[in-house]
């Protein structure tokens, strides 16, 4: 049963803690095969000590997808849809951000096409 934990903007001490149980194959990406009990204990520690950072846990399981995942402080959230776990990505409008207007500004048009 493979386990992957991905940390973003988490304290260095948390990364050091995880290297006791998992291999760090890239900065913030940890892979290993701990037991389910150890995996749950590691995830509990990650959630407790992540601080302002984000974390993602994925592990193999006996379902149609062959894996499942959990998130901590991510904007993207797992959602169950008819037995499959999908990721819900909130839109810019839901977060209160305004999308920038598409196209050329007047100044850019003048520079590109000359002063007409």
> Do the Cβ atoms of 46 and 72 come closer than 8 Å?
yes
Comparing C-alpha atoms, which of 6, 38, 37 is closest to residue 20? Answer: 38
Are the C-beta atoms of 28 and 1 separated by less than 8 Å?
Answer: no
Helix (H) or strand (E) holding 37: helix 36-49
- The pLDDT tens digits for 45-87 are 999 999 889 999 999 998 888 888 888 987 888 888 888 888 8
What is the mean pLDDT of the segment spanning 92-103? Answer: 59
Q: How confident is the model at residue 88 (pLDDT cuts 50, 70, 90)?
A: confident
User: Is residue 1 pLDDT above 90, yes or no?
Assistant: no
Measured distance CA(99)–CA(102) in Å, rounded: 9
CATH numbers and ranges of domains, the chain:
3-91 (3.30.70.240)
CA–CA distance, 79 with 63 (Å, rounded to integer)? 15
106 or 31, which is more confident? 31
């Amino acid at each position: 049963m493979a386990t992957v934990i991905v940390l973003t903007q988490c304290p260095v001490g948390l990364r050091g803690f995880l290297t006791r149980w998992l291999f760090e194959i890239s900065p913030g990406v940890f892979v290993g095969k701990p037991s389910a009990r150890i995996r749950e204990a590691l995830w509990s520690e990650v959630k407790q000590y992540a601080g302002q950072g984000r974390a993602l846990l994925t592990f193999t399981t006996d379902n149609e997808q062959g894996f499942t995942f959990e998130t901590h402080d991510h904007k993207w959230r797992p959602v169950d849809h008819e037995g499959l776990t999908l990721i819900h990505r909130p839109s810019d409008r839901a977060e209160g951000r305004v999308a920038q207007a598409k196209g050329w500004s007047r100044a850019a048009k003048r520079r590109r096409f000359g002063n007409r």
